[in-house]
Amino acid sequence: DIQMTQSPSSLSASVGDRVSITCRASQSISSYLNWYQLKPGKAPKLLIYAASNLQSGVPSRFSGSGSGTDFTLTISSLQPEDFATYYCQQSYSTPLYTFGQGTKLEIK
């Protein structure tokens, strides 16, 4: 199985800050990397697919980069609604899709 490791596991930041979350794969996954936002009681939301493609309807302050084993999700200017938990997911090793352990983004 391909293991996905996110860092940090939690992060405190303020509205307006620029934040980055890293995801590392245990082997090369090319650009088969997706990012999701989870909030309690709400449907999870796809933010970025194929490493750097912004899903329709997602604000442009979200961006993704990377290929191979190292990937980054960046939020350029945090908004109050962005405080949530973020997960990466590899889709290289289909169909055994695996997720990172999550990064909880909290208000400082």
Partner 1 sequence: QVQLQESGPGLVKPSQTLSLTCTVSGASVSSDDYYWSWIRQPPGKGLEWIGYIYYSGSTSTNPSLKSRLTLSVDTFKNQFSLMLTSVTAADTAVYYCARLGRQHGYSFDYWGQGTLVTVSS
Residues at the interface with partner 1 (CB under 8 A): 31-34, 36, 41-46, 49-51, 53, 55, 87, 89, 91, 94-102
Q: Report how far residue 88's alpha carbon sits from residue 56's, in angstroms, rounded to the nearest whole number.
A: 18
Give the shortest CB-6-to-partner 1 separation in angstroms.
9
Question: Rounded to 5 degrees, what are φ and ψ at 54?
Answer: -75, 125
Show the tokens assigned to 31: 């650009």
Give the shortest CB-39-to-partner 1 separation in angstroms.
10
Nearer to partner 1, 3 or 77 (CB): 3
Show the tokens assigned to 99: 């997720």
